[in-house]
């Protein structure tokens, strides 16, 4: 099955909205996906809250995180997180950077994240901790310079996610749906780890359990089931993004004029309004 670029861009918009709708992303944070035909490019939204991202907001970047065409609107300042990880990890095709409330206590205390329940195995056997102070001293904490992104990618190594001191986390996956799955369930794991600590001793999965459960969670069927669930929740909330408008506005323009010249009947006017409403 061939998947069109339009489908991939639509799915990336859905992923941004979905992870926001599930309470991980808020006004900030972002998800990217590698270009399926050109591994040296990736797609990421313009600077916009993820819950509002539409396919038309997505820009194409090279791995130095420079836009392929001059962008008309401001870009995310932390896009080097994505570019430098795509550079360092050929196996990674999607990246999510976030500042979730469930993860932040671990970024603040340095307390290690551990796999405390079945689905939490998505975090892998070890979650590294990146401290921008180590190489860069005082900064405004945003990861904006290529060398900062590269440093973060080095600390991530071959792991599934990395915690960022007093900032947030970055999660990677082999594809977009996998990164969404890992992002949401790693936050649940952190939430349960904190809750468990409040009532007693925190037990963890064994390394063997993490390995086996991790393989299970990487199954397309497992990920597809969760994806369908989150899409349905987003649909019910009326949060699905519109499809990208088919390109050439030039061709569409005369047709619209012609319609405007003729006097549409009232029912026709209403129908067109309804259609518009539905598409939003
Ligand atoms: Mn950030």
List of residues 6+ apart from 1 with CB closer than 8 A: none
**H or E stretch including 278?**
helix 266-279
Greater model confidence, 260 or 151 = 151
Residue 58 pairs in a beta bridge with: 45
Domain boundaries, the chain: 5-236
Q: What pLDDT, on a 0 to 100 scale, did the predictor assign at position 214?
A: 96
Averaged pLDDT, 23-48: 98
Q: What pLDDT, on a 0 to 100 scale, did the predictor assign at position 265?
A: 42
Q: How far is the CA of 246 from the centre of ligand 1 (A)?
A: 33
Backbone angles phi, psi at 94, to 5 degrees: -155, 145
Q: How far is the CA of 4 from the centre of ligand 1 (A)?
A: 30
- What is the distance of C-alpha 151 from the center of its chain? 21
Give the CATH number of domain 5-236: 3.40.225.10
Averaged pLDDT, 162-171: 98
Q: How far is the CA of 242 from the centre of ligand 1 (A)?
A: 26
Q: How far is the CA of 12 from the centre of ligand 1 (A)?
A: 19
Other Cβ atoms within 10 Å of 265 Cβ, number? 9
Averaged pLDDT, 254-259: 46
pLDDT tens for each residue of 87-144: 999 999 999 999 999 999 999 999 999 999 999 999 999 999 999 999 999 999 999 9
The answer to whether residue 78 is catalytic is yes
Q: What pLDDT, on a 0 to 100 scale, did the predictor assign at position 279?
A: 38
% the chain with pLDDT above 90:
86
Residue 162 pairs in a beta bridge with: 170
Distance CA 157, CA 160 (A): 9
Averaged pLDDT, 259-280: 41
Q: How far is the CA of 21 from the centre of ligand 1 (A)?
A: 18
Pairing of strands 168-173, 94-98: antiparallel
Catalytic residue among 51, 78, 178, 191: 78
Averaged pLDDT, 153-176: 98
């Amino acid at each position: 099955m061939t998947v069109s670029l339009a489908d991939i861009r639509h799915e990336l918009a859905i992923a941004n909205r979905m992870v926001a709708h599930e309470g991980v992303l808020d006004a900030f944070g972002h998800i990217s996906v590698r270009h399926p035909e050109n591994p040296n490019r990736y797609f990421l939204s313009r600077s916009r809250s993820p819950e509002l991202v539409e396919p038309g907001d997505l820009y194409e970047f090279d791995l130095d995180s420079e836009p392929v065409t001059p962008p008309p609107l401001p870009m995310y300042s932390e896009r080097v997180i994505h570019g430098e990880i795509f550079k360092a990890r050929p196996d990674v095709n999607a990246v999510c950077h976030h500042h979730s409330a469930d993860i932040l206590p671990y970024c603040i205390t340095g307390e290690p994240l551990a796999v405390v329940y079945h689905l939490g195995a998505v975090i892998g056997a070890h979650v590294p901790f990146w401290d921008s102070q180590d190489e860069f001293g005082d900064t405004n904490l945003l990861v904006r310079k290529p060398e900062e992104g590269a440093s973060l990618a080095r600390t991530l190594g071959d792991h599934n996610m990395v915690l960022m001191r007093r900032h947030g986390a970055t999660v990677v996956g082999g594809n977009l749906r996998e990164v969404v799955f890992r992002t949401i369930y790693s936050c649940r794991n952190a939430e349960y780890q904190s809750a468990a600590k409040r009532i007693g001793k925190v037990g963890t999965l064994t390394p063997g359990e993490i390995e086996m459960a991790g393989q299970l969670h990487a199954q397309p069927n497992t990920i597809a089931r969760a994806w369908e669930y989150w899409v349905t929740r987003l649909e019910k909330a009326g949060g699905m993004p519109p499809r990208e408008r088919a390109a050439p506005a030039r061709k569409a323009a005369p047709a619209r004029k012609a319609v405007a010249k003729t006097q549409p009947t009232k029912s026709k006017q209403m129908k067109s309004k309804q259609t518009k409403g539905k598409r939003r």
